[in-house]
């Protein structure tokens, strides 16, 4: 019960509810995310075009006639891209040359790739590093080493740029002859190879036919090409983001 002298206040009126304001913050965030997703999809399409060109180049390489190495290295010295070029050369003493062991995988099996230096005559460089092939870890046999031997070895192979080391690549250990990245300068020093070419030669033919465990492996059996799948994934996420944004706007209008 209230006293007679106590003033009576009118009941507070609630403001009428109307549609909420335009979500500026959400719109800006959606636009930024959408731009990133579309850019990633477009980048994957560019990578798809590059990968298709690379695969076509490699396919043509399989049947290409091997070129003499000297002129190809001269073209490399002038700035020409010679990666994946098929070449032929003669390496004195390669069958018994000193070698480095680089960690590798082939068909899911761990092993080592043997890298030796080959003298190059009449070219812009004096030596080139040769990846002679892969040996599985379960095989302990290795080629003989006799630096004085000079028996010529006719070789056909493919030129490839060295893979770049990443932050997860272990450091090379020259003192233990354990290598994990293709550092041409460091490998050339370890092999005492002067003026090495800035490219590797991956042997297609064997430097040691009597050692079957040493398998020339110039190119991966399969080079994956999933860039279209990745592009569709990014574009699909962009479409889903637009759908969620529109649904939120429609829901806000109904409130």
Q: Are residues 102 and 177 in the same domain?
A: yes
Average pLDDT of the chain, as a whole number: 88
Q: Are residues 120 and 191 in the same domain?
A: yes
Rounded Cα distance between 162 and 200, Å, is 6
For residue 33, being part of any structural domain is answered with yes
Distances from the Cα of 11 to the Cα of 6, 14, 124, 130, angstroms? 15, 9, 97, 93
Q: How many domains does the chain have?
A: 2
223-247, pLDDT tens digit by residue?
A: 788 999 999 999 999 999 999 999 9
93-122, pLDDT tens digit by residue?
A: 999 999 999 999 888 899 999 999 999 987
For residue 179, being part of any structural domain is answered with yes
> Is 128 in contact with 88 (CB distance < 8 Å)?
no
For residue 102, being part of any structural domain is answered with yes
Q: Are residues 35 and 137 in the same domain?
A: no
Q: 142: exposed, middle or buried (C-beta count within 10 Å: 0-12, 13-18, 19+)?
A: middle
Q: Are residues 72 and 43 in the same domain?
A: no
| Ramachandran angles phi, psi of 162, nearest 5° | -70, 140
pTM over 0.75: no
Tens-digit pLDDT string for the chain (255 aa): 455 555 565 555 554 444 567 888 899 999 999 999 999 999 999 999 998 988 887 777 777 899 999 999 999 999 999 988 999 999 999 999 999 999 998 888 999 999 999 999 877 899 999 999 999 999 999 999 998 999 999 999 999 998 888 888 999 999 999 999 999 999 999 999 999 999 999 999 999 999 999 999 876 656 788 999 999 999 999 999 999 999 998 888 876
- Helix segments in the chain, DSSP class H: 24-63, 69-77, 184-191, 227-254
CA geometry: angle at 121 spanning 59 and 91, to 5°? 65
For residue 191, being part of any structural domain is answered with yes
User: Measured in whole angstroms, how far is the alpha carbon of residue 253 from the centre of its chain?
Assistant: 49
Which structural domain range is residue 92 located in?
68-203
Q: Which two tokens stand for residue 245?
A: 């944004």
Q: Are residues 89 and 189 in the same domain?
A: yes
């Amino acid at each position: 019960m209230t006293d007679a002298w106590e003033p009576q206040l009118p009941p507070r009126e609630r403001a009428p509810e109307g549609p909420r304001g335009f979500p500026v913050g959400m719109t800006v965030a959606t636009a930024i995310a959408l731009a990133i997703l579309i850019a990633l999809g477009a980048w994957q399409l560019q990578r798809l075009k590059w990968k298709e060109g690379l695969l076509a180049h490699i396919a043509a390489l399989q049947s290409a006639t091997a070129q003499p190495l000297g002129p190809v290295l001269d073209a490399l010295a002038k700035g020409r891209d010679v990666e994946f070029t098929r070449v032929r050369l003669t390496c004195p003493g390669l069958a018994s040359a000193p070698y480095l062991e680089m960690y590798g995988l082939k068909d899911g099996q761990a092993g080592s790739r043997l890298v030796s230096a080959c003298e190059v005559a009449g070219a812009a460089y004096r030596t080139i590093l040769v990846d002679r092939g892969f040996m599985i870890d379960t095989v302990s046999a290795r080629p003989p080493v006799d630096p004085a031997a000079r028996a010529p070895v006719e070789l056909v192979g493919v030129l490839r740029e060295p893979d770049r080391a990443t932050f997860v690549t272990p450091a090379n250990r020259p003192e233990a002859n354990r290598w994990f990245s293709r550092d041409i300068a460091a490998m050339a020093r370890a092999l005492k190879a002067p003026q090495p070419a800035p490219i590797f030669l991956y042997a297609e033919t064997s430097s040691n036919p009597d050692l079957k465990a040493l398998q020339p492996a110039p190119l991966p059996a399969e080079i994956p090409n999933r860039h279209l799948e990745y592009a569709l994934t990014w574009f699909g996420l962009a479409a889903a983001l637009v759908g969620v944004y529109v649904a939120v706007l429609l829901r806000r209008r109904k409130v």
